[in-house]
C-alpha cells in the first residue's frame, strides 16, 4: 500500500513521454498503456522484450527512462539505477532522469556519485529545491552512518514473510497485540496487483504470549479485509475503534484511497464506514489517531498541500463522531516531496516518513516537536533507524523508547519488513586518577569536585590509589576540579552532549606541589631589558589561570639571572623583571595583595631535577648549576645552556589562606 500511494500520484505525469507510434511494436504499445494506467509491474516485461527493437536513439532513451521509472516505483532501486544510466548514456532529453538516477544512487549508498548527478540536474533545473535536498542528504548520510544513534534494531522474522509486511499498530495497552499490513499469500482478495506485483494487502493480527513469543499472523475477518487493499491500522488507547486505509479501483480504472473506521463489538469488528473527506479518486490514507481519539492525522493529495502527499489533521470533541475540516500541518512538516505514515505519540511528538526532508535515501523517519512559539521542529531519526532504503511506519510504547517500524533495507526476509527497536539505557562514567605531576605517583585523599552545566555538584575523596569515579548524565557539560593541601588545584573538562551510546571517560589530573618554587617556562626578555616580550604572554596567561583556579594562594614572583655581570646590577635587573610579571598579572585582574615581586640575581642557581637531566644528558640530578659547575664544563655550548637554565622566572606559594576582600 505504501508503494501504491506513490504510484497513484505519478500514474498520469509520465503519459506525455510516450514516443511516436512509428517505432512502437504491439508489445511496446501495450506496455505504454499499462504504464499510463499505473500498472508498472506488468509493463516491465513487455518493455524489456521489445526495447532492443528501437533504433532511434532519442526514442530509445525515453523508453529506457520509463523502464527506470517502473523499477523505481515498484521499489527496485538497483534495477532502476541500471536503466536510468542507460537512458543517460543515450542522451535522454528528460532532465528528471538525472534526478531519479541520483535518487537511486543514493538509495544504493553511492553517495558521492549521487551528488554528481544531483549537481547535473541542478544545472538543468536550477529552481527545483529537491536537488539541494538530495545533495545535503548524501552529505548527512555519510556522517550519520559514521556516528550512529544509540537505537538497537532487530528483524521480526517470526512476523515477516517474503512479501511486504509493514505499518505495525499496537492493539492493546500492554503491547502484546499487534496489527500490521501484509501482502503475503492468502489475503482476502487473493488477486495480484498489476501495479506492485504483489497480492492486495490485508490487515493481520499477532499476539505475544507470556514467554515473549509472537503467534503466527492471521488476517482480520471480512468486515475489515476485502478484495481491495487494506492497511495502515491505527487504534486509540481504549482499543474500541479501528482506523485504516482502503484503496480500490473504480469502474473508470482510476485508483483512490479512503480512510475507514470500524467500532468494536462483543462479536468483533463491525462493518467499517468511510470517513468522507474527498472524492473517491483522491488519496486519503495512513490514519494515525491520538491516544484519546480526539485527533486524526492522515495523508492526502487534496488541494491546498505543499506538493506530493501531505500530512493533514482532523479534530473532534470528546464523545463526538463529527470531525473538523482538514488542517494542513504546514511547510515545517510538508515539503514538495511526500510526507507519509504519521504516528502521534501520547506526549505530542509527531513521527512521520518523508522523501522531501534531507534523509539517507527513499523514505526516512522523522520526529517533530513544537517549540515555545508553537512551530514544528523536525529532526531526522538517523542511522540505524533510517537506512538508504525506505524506512517508515514507526510506533512507540508510551513510556519507553521502544517499538516497531517498517523498512525495505537489505537483509530482510522480503520486500518491506517489520523491525523491532529500542534505546538501551545510556550510561556515562567518569573514571580518573589524581597524581603528583613530578613523581607521577598517586595522591590519596585529594578532593575531587564534579560540576555539571545542569547545576549538579558532586564531591568525593580519592582512594589510596588516587582514583575517583562519577556517574554522568546525558547532554551535560562537566568540569572536574582536583585539590589537595600542599598542591595547586587542577581541572579538566568533558561533555556528554551529542553522545548516543554509553561511554567511560578517563581523566588524569596532575597536581603541582607547592613545597618548592615552580618555574614558569617561556618567559622571555630582550638582552639587558626587563620589558616582557610578546611571546611571554601565553605562559603568563597560564599563570593567571592557575591563580584563578587557586583563589586562596598568595605568591612570590622570583626572577633569576645568570652569573655574568655584577651582582648589584643583576639584582636591579631581576627585580625589574619580576615586577614586570607582577604588573602584567595585576593588569589582568589578579589582586595586588596576592603578589610579591623579588629579584634574586644569580644568588640561587638552578638545581638539576629529573626533567632537566633527561633533556640534557651532560647534567645529573641534584647538581647545582653554580659558578664552580660552570667552570668545570669545557664545552662552550654546554656553558651557554647552563646560563640559559639559570635565567628563569619562578613563583612560590607564600600562603594558602588568602580571602577575597569584600
Residue 531 predicted with pLDDT over 70: yes
Domain ranges of the chain: 2-146, 152-422, 428-511, 518-655
For residues 578 and 599, the answer to whether their CB atoms sit within 8 Å is yes
What is residue 526's predicted lDDT score, i.e. its pLDDT? Answer: 72
pLDDT (average), residues 430-447: 95
What is residue 448's predicted lDDT score, i.e. its pLDDT? Answer: 97
Residue 18 predicted with pLDDT over 90: no
Predicted confidence (pLDDT) per residue in 334-370, tens digit: 999 999 999 999 999 999 999 999 999 889 999 999 9
Return the percentage of the chain with pLDDT > 70, whole number.
95
To 10 degrees, what angle do helices 537-549 and 567-587 make?
A: 60
Fold of 2-146: 1.25.40
pLDDT (average), residues 369-388: 95
CATH of 518-655, one of 3.10.129.10, 3.30.1330.60, 3.40.50.970, 3.30.43.10: 3.30.1330.60
Give, in order, the Cα–Cα distances in Å from 202 to each of 185, 244, 310: 10, 10, 24
Q: Cβ-count burial of 548 within 10 angstroms (0-12 exposed, 13-18 middle, 19+ buried)?
A: exposed
Pairing of strands 503-511, 428-436: parallel
Q: What is the mean pLDDT of the chain?
A: 91
What does the block give as the cell for 265?
Answer: 463489538
What is residue 46's predicted lDDT score, i.e. its pLDDT? Answer: 92
pLDDT (average), residues 215-243: 95
What is residue 2's predicted lDDT score, i.e. its pLDDT? Answer: 57
Judge whether 152-422 and 428-511 match in fold.
no
Residue 44 predicted with pLDDT over 90: yes
- The CATH code for residues 428-511 is 2.60.40.1120
Instruction: Give the global pTM.
Output: 0.72
Give the number of other CB atoms < 10 A from CB of residue 465. Answer: 10
Find residue 351's DSSP bridge partners.
Answer: 343, 367
Rg from Cα positions in the chain: 37
Predicted confidence (pLDDT) per residue in 58-102, tens digit: 999 999 999 999 999 988 999 999 999 999 999 999 999 999 999
Predicted confidence (pLDDT) per residue in 581-612, tens digit: 999 999 999 999 999 999 999 999 999 988 89
Class of domain 152-422: mainly beta
pLDDT (average), residues 226-238: 95
Residue 382 predicted with pLDDT over 80: yes
Residue 14 predicted with pLDDT over 60: no
Predicted confidence (pLDDT) per residue in 277-301, tens digit: 988 778 999 999 999 999 999 999 9
What is residue 378's predicted lDDT score, i.e. its pLDDT? Answer: 97
Grid cell 538508504 in the structure block, residue? 388
What is residue 12's predicted lDDT score, i.e. its pLDDT? Answer: 38
pLDDT (average), residues 525-553: 86
Q: Which helix (H) or strand (E) holds 6?
A: helix 2-10
Give, in order, the Cα–Cα distances in Å from 614 to each of 336, 357, 575, 609, 611: 68, 60, 31, 9, 5
pLDDT (average), residues 481-497: 95
Give residue 123's pLDDT band: very low, low, confident or very high (50, 70, 90). very high
Give residue 15's pLDDT band: very low, low, confident or very high (50, 70, 90). very low
What is residue 661's predicted lDDT score, i.e. its pLDDT? Answer: 66
Phi, psi angles (nearest 5°) of residue 187: -70, 165
Q: CA–CA separation, 84 vs 89, rounded Å?
A: 9
Residue 4 predicted with pLDDT over 70: no
Q: CA–CA separation, 529 vs 526, rounded Å?
A: 5
508-536: b (≥16 Cβ within 10 Å) or e: ebbbbbbeebbbbeebebeeeebebeeeb
Residue 254 predicted with pLDDT over 60: no
Residue 251 predicted with pLDDT over 50: no
Look at residues 464, 395, 478, 386 and name the one whose alpha carbon lies nearest to residue 144. 386
What is residue 201's predicted lDDT score, i.e. its pLDDT? Answer: 93
What is residue 187's predicted lDDT score, i.e. its pLDDT? Answer: 87
pLDDT (average), residues 158-187: 95
Amino acid at each position: 500500500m505504501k508503494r501504491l500511494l506513490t504510484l497513484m500520484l505519478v500514474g498520469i505525469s509520465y503519459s506525455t513521454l510516450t514516443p511516436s507510434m512509428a517505432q512502437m511494436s504491439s508489445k511496446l504499445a501495450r506496455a505504454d498503456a499499462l504504464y499510463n494506467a499505473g500498472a508498472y509491474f506488468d509493463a516491465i516485461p513487455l518493455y524489456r522484450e521489445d526495447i532492443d527493437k528501437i533504433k532511434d536513439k532519442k526514442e530509445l532513451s525515453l523508453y529506457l527512462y520509463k523502464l527506470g521509472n517502473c523499477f523505481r516505483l515498484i521499489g527496485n532501486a538497483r534495477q532502476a539505477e541500471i536503466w536510468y544510466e542507460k537512458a543517460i548514456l543515450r542522451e535522454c532529453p528528460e532532465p528528471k532522469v538525472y534526478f531519479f538516477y541520483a535518487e537511486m544512487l543514493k538509495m544504493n549508498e553511492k553517495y558521492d556519485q549521487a551528488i554528481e548527478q544531483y549537481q547535473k540536474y541542478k544545472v538543468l533545473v536550477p529552481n527545483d529545491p529537491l536537488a539541494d535536498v538530495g545533495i545535503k542528504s548524501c552529505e548527512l548520510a555519510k556522517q550519520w552512518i559514521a556516528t550512529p544513534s544509540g537505537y538497537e534494531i532487530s528483524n521480526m522474522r517470526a512476523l515477516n514473510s517474503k512479501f511486504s509486511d509493514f505499518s505495525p499498530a499496537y492493539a492493546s495497552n500492554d503491547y502484546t497485540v499487534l496489527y500490521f499490513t501484509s501482502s503475503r499469500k492468502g489475503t482476502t482478495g487473493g488477486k495480484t496487483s498489476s501495479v506492485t506485483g504483489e497480492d492486495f494487502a490485508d490487515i493481520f493480527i499477532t499476539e505475544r504470549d507470556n514467554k515473549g513469543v509472537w503467534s503466527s499472523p492471521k488476517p482480520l475477518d471480512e468486515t475489515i479485509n476485502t478484495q481491495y487493499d487494506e492497511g495502515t491500522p491505527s487504534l486509540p488507547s481504549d482499543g474500541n475503534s479501528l482506523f485504516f486505509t482502503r484503496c480500490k479501483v473504480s469502474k473508470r480504472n482510476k485508483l483512490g484511497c479512503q480512510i475507514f473506521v470500524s467500532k468494536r463489538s462483543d462479536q468483533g469488528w463491525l462493518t467499517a464506514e468511510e470517513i468522507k473527506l474527498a472524492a473517491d479518486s483522491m488519496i486519503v490514507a495512513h490514519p494515525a489517531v491520538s491516544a484519546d481519539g480526539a485527533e486524526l492525522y492522515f495523508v492526502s493529495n487534496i488541494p491546498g498541500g505543499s506538493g506530493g502527499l501531505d500530512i493533514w489533521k482532523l479534530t473532534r470533541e470528546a464523545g463526538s463522531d463529527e470531525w473538523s475540516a482538514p488542517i494542513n500541518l504546514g511547510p515545517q512538516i510538508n515539503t514538495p516531496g511526500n510526507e507519509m505514515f504519521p504516528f502521534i505519540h501520547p506526549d505530542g511528538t509527531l513521527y512521520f516518513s518523508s522523501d522531501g526532508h534531507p534523509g539517507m535515501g527513499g523514505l526516512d523517519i522523522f520526529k517533530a516537536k513544537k517549540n515555545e512559539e508553537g512551530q514544528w521542529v523536525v529532526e531526522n531519526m538517523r542511522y540505524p533507524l533510517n537506512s538508504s532504503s525506505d524506512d517508515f511506519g514507526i510506533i512507540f510504547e508510551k513510556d519507553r523508547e521502544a517499538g516497531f517500524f517498517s523498512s525495505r533495507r537489505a537483509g530482510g526476509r522480503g520486500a518491506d519488513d517489520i523491525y523491532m527497536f529500542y534505546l538501551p539505557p545510556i550510561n556515562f562514567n567518569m573514571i580518573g586518577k589524581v597524581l603528583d605531576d613530578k613523581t607521577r605517583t598517586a595522591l590519596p585523599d585529594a578532593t575531587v569536585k564534579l560540576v555539571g552545566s545542569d547545576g549538579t555538584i558532586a564531591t568525593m575523596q580519592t582512594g589510596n590509589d588516587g582514583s575517583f569515579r562519577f556517574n554522568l548524565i546525558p547532554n551535560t557539560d562537566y568540569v572536574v576540579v582536583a585539590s589537595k593541601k600542599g598542591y595547586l588545584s587542577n581541572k579538566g573538562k568533558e561533555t556528554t552532549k551529542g553522545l548516543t551510546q554509553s561511554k567511560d571517560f578517563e581523566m588524569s589530573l596532575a597536581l603541582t606541589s607547592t613545597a618548592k618554587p615552580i618555574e614558569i617556562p617561556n618567559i622571555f626578555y630582550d638582552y639587558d631589558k626587563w620589558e616582557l616580550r610578546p611571546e611571554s604572554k601565553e605562559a603568563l596567561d597560564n599563570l593567571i589561570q592557575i591563580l584563578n583556579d587557586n583563589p586562596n594562594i598568595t605568591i612570590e614572583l622570583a626572577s633569576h639571572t645568570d652569573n655574568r655581570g655584577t651582582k648589584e646590577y643583576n639584582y636591579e635587573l631581576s627585580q625589574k623583571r619580576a615586577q614586570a610579571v607582577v604588573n602584567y598579572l595585576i593588569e589582568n585582574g589578579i589582586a595586588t595583595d596576592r603578589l610579591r615581586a623579588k629579584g634574586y640575581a644569580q644568588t640561587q642557581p638552578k638545581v638539576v631535577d629529573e626533567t632537566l637531566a633527561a633533556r640534557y644528558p651532560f647534567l645529573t640530578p641534584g647538581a647545582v648549576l653554580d659558578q664552580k659547575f660552570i667552570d668545570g664544563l669545557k664545552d662552550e655550548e654546554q656553558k651557554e645552556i647552563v646560563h640559559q637554565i639559570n635565567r628563569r622566572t619562578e613563583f612560590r606559594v607564600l600562603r594558602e589562606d588568602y580571602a577575597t576582600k569584600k
